[in-house]
Amino acid sequence: METKKKDIRALTKDQLREFFVKEGDKAFRGNQVYEWLWSKGAHSFEDMTNISLETRHMLQDNFVINHIHVDTMQKSNDGTIKNAVRLHDGLIVESVLIPTKSRTTACVSSQVGCSLDCRFCATSRLKRMRNLNPDEIFDQVVAIDKESRLYHDRPLSNIVFMGMGEPLMNYNNVLRAIDKITSDEGLGMSPKRIVVSTSGVPKMIKKMADDDVKFKLAVSLHSAIDEVRSSIMPFNENFPLADLREALEYWYAKTKNRITYEYVVWKDINDKKKDVDALIAFCKFAPSKVNLIEYNPIDDGEFQQANSQAIDMYVSMLERNNIIVTVRRSRGKDIDAACGQLANKS
């Protein structure tokens, strides 16, 4: 019987207002319930104390609140926290809290598993089971915000969609979640503090530009040479670099937002001068920033982090070409919470 009931958070505010009118109540009741669901994070209808008992029971008869539950929480020596989050249907995704001096970042998942096949990423070993709903994405953020306040004495400041899944392959739900996260009726966070990271789905990057989104875009590039990129990210054969670049040019023309590239340098894969030359040529069309991220081994030893000379070569050549470059150290490695390690051990 339970499963027949509708997820109340799948309704828009207007739909909720209409529902109450149909039930012979005031539309305003919809606003109250909506506030409970999205700004107060109610887990049950019982929590909605300014709603009459009778109405709460009526809601109970019609709807469910498919709230996530933090199943296990692991803490790293460096303060990073990883949550294994159980969804209403028993599936698990992971999300991570990453504290630094100046910010606390939530790294959230957008899908259960992933349909892409990046060979260096643990999540790609799990096949894609399903997309997350907007409320399931939103709940991950709320859970991390609570942990941030509890363990680090400050609210969450930033969000990155760099957990499990490809956000642009669950675009509508990601957008609706961000809408709740940024609206005053939700968490009221600034979209400028949100980064959506994609392996590069050209059509969807253009759609984002057309939708005039206000959050930031990061592209997991890893190589600007088709042959190399296809060997480590096989879906590149369907979305070759020329298409990706054309989409990014479109994005830049519309948004005038700098593009961030994520990039791991691996030994014998992309650690030569020709690789940096290709990257510089690829980036040229717009102001760019390259984050060189440390490789987090995923157990089988096929990929190895390049040596420090190779990293230094990247940094100096990029800087000489006026491309901003940062070298990122991983966080939370001891609990498999670093980039690409999610789902490593489950």
Which residues of the chain form contacts with ligand SAH (CB under 6 A)? 118, 120-121, 162, 166, 197-199, 220, 262, 264, 293, 295-296, 298, 339-340
Bridge partners (DSSP) listed for residue 54: none
Whole-number minimum distance, CB 114 to ligand SAH, in Å? 6
Instruction: Please identify, using beta-carbon distances, which residue of 122 and 189 lies nearer to ligand SAH.
Output: 122
Per the annotation, the verdict on 339 as an active-site residue is yes
Among 18, 35, 94, 121, the active-site one is 94
Question: Who contacts 60 (Cβ-Cβ below 8 Å, separation ≥6)?
Answer: 45
Whole-number minimum distance, CB 266 to ligand SAH, in Å? 9
Distance CA 270, CA 53 (A): 63
Whole-number minimum distance, CB 251 to ligand SAH, in Å? 15
**Tokens 């930031």 correspond to what residue?**
216
Residue type, position 29, single letter: R
Instruction: Please identify, using beta-carbon distances, which residue of 66 and 170 lies nearer to ligand SAH.
Output: 170
**Tokens 């030893």 correspond to what residue?**
301
The answer to whether 298 touches 344, Cβ cutoff 8 Å, is: yes
Whole-number minimum distance, CB 143 to ligand SAH, in Å? 19
Instruction: Please identify, using beta-carbon distances, which residue of 151 and 297 lies nearer to ligand SAH.
Output: 297
The answer to whether 13 touches 30, Cβ cutoff 8 Å, is: yes
Whole-number minimum distance, CB 305 to ligand SAH, in Å? 9
Comparing every residue's Cβ against ligand SAH, the nearest one is: 340
Whole-number minimum distance, CB 115 to ligand SAH, in Å? 10
Among 107, 118, 121, 339, the active-site one is 339
Instruction: Please identify, using beta-carbon distances, which residue of 36 and 161 lies nearer to ligand SAH.
Output: 161
Instruction: Please identify, using beta-carbon distances, which residue of 41 and 113 lies nearer to ligand SAH.
Output: 113
CA–CA distances in Å: residue 154 to residues 74, 101, 105, 150, 158? 19, 11, 11, 8, 12
- Give the three-class secondary structure for 193: helix
Alpha carbon 94 to its chain centroid, in Å, reads: 11
Distance CA 59, CA 76 (A): 41
The answer to whether 229 touches 241, Cβ cutoff 8 Å, is: yes
**Tokens 């979209």 correspond to what residue?**
191
* Nearest residue to 330 (alpha-carbon basis) of 94, 107, 114: 107
Instruction: Please identify, using beta-carbon distances, which residue of 125 and 206 lies nearer to ligand SAH.
Output: 125
Q: What is the DSSP letter of 46?
A: G
Give the CA dihedral 332, 335, 340, 342, nearest 10 degrees: -130
Per the annotation, the verdict on 94 as an active-site residue is yes
Q: Which residues are catalytic?
A: 94, 339
